[in-house]
Amino acid sequence: MNEVSKVVVGVSGGIAAYKACQIVRGFREQGVDVRVIPTENALKFVGAATFEALSGAPVDTDVFSRVDEVQHVRIGQDADVIVVAPATADFLARVAGGRADDLLTSTLLMATCPVVLAPAMHTEMWNNRATQHNVSVLRSRGYTVLEPAHGRLTGKDSGAGRLLDPSQIVKLTETVAATGPIEQTLKGKRVLISAGGTREPLDPVRFLGNHSSGKQGFALAEIAAQRGAHVDIVAGAIDHLSIPAGAEIHRVTTALQMNEAMRSLAPQADIIVMAAAVADMRPRHAAQKKLKKDDNSQELSQVDLVANPDILQGLGEMRKKGLTSATIVGFAAETDNELENARRKLQRKGVDGLMVNSVAQGAVFGQAHNQGWFLDSSGREQAIPHGTKLEVAVHLLDKVESLHM
Known catalytic residues are 210
Strands (DSSP E) found in 39-195? 81-87, 115-119, 144-145, 149-152, 158-162, 190-195
d(Cα 160, Cα 147) in Å, to the nearest integer?
A: 9
Report yes or no: 282 and 255 within 8 Å, Cβ to Cβ: yes
Question: How many separate helices (H) and strands (E) can be counted in the chain?
Answer: 13, 19
Give just the sign of the alpha carbon dihedral 91, 92, 95, 96.
Answer: negative
292 is in an annotated binding site: no
51 marked as part of a ligand binding site = no
Report whether 309 belongs to an annotated binding site. Answer: yes
Q: CB count, 10 Å around CB of 315?
A: 26
Q: Is 321 annotated as a binding residue?
A: no
* Nearest one of 146, 177, 48, 168 to 103, comparing CA atoms: 48
According to the annotation, is 312 in a ligand binding site? yes
Is 290 part of any known ligand binding site? yes
399 a known binding residue? Answer: no
Residue 317 CB coordination number (10 Å)? 13
Asked whether residue 311 is marked as a ligand-binding residue, the answer is yes
Residue 328 annotated as part of some ligand binding site: no
The span from the CA of 204 to the CA of 206, in Å, is 6
Residue 216 near residue 296 (C-beta atoms within 8 A): no
Residue 356 contacts residue 299 (beta carbons within 8 Å): no
As annotated, the binding site for CTP includes 280, 290, 309-312, 331, 345, 349
As annotated, the binding site includes 280, 290, 309-312, 331, 345, 349
